[in-house]
Amino acid sequence: TPETYDVVILGAGAAGLMCAAIAGKRGRRVLLLDKADKIGKKILISGGGRCNFTNLHVNPAAYLSQNPHFCKSALARYTANDFLDLMRHYHLSWHEKILGQLFCDQKAPAIVEMLWTECQQAAVTLRLNTDVTQIQRADAQFHLHTTQGAFQAASLVIATGGPSIPRMGATDFGSHIAKQFGLKNIPFSPALVPFTFDQTLLEGLFAGLAGVSTPVAVSCGDGYFREQMLFTHRGLSGPAMLQISSYWQKGAAVQIDLLPGLDAYAWLQSVQQQRPKAELKTLLAEVLPNRLAQRLCETLFPNRPLGQYGDKMLQSIAAQLHAWELTPAGTEGMRTAEVSLGGVDTRELSSKTLEARKVPGLYFIGETVDVTGWLGGYNFQWAWASGWCAGQYA
Interface residues with ligand FAD (CB under 6 A)?
Answer: 10-16, 33-36, 41-42, 45-47, 51-52, 132, 159-161, 164-165, 169, 171, 173, 338-339, 366-367, 377-380, 383
The residue (of 115 and 236) whose beta carbon lies closer to ligand FAD is 115
Task: Tell me the C-alpha distance between 47 and 52, whole Å.
Answer: 5
Pick the closer one to ligand FAD by CB: 169 or 260. Answer: 169
Q: Are 345 and 184 in contact (CB under 8 A)?
A: yes
Cβ 268 to ligand FAD shortest distance, Å: 39
- In the beta sheet, which residues pair with residue 58? none
Nearer residue to ligand FAD within complex by CB, 36 or 326: 36
Greatest C-alpha distance within the chain: 88
CA distances from 366 to 2, 68, 74, 174, 250 (A): 28, 15, 11, 10, 26
In whole angstroms, the minimum distance from the beta carbon of 378 to ligand FAD comes to: 6
**Looking at beta carbons only, is 314 or 385 nearer to ligand FAD?**
385
In the complex, least distance from residue 215 CB atom to ligand FAD, rounded to whole angstroms: 21
Of 116 and 380, which has the nearer Cβ to ligand FAD? 380
**Closest to 225 in 3D by CA, of 360, 382, 338, 376:** 376
330, 235 contact by CB (below 8 A) = no
Q: 3-state SS of 51-83?
A: CEEEECCCCHHHEECCCCCCCHHHHHHCCHHHH
> Which is nearer to ligand FAD, 257 or 367 (by Cβ)?
367
Minimum distance from residue 35 beta carbon to ligand FAD (Å): 4
CB of 227 to ligand FAD, least distance (A): 15
Cβ of residue 271: shortest distance to ligand FAD, in angstroms?
41
Residues forming beta bridges with residue 229, ordered by sequence position: 214
Q: Which residue is nearest to ligand FAD (CB)?
A: 13
Using DSSP's 3-state secondary structure scheme, residue 145 falls into strand
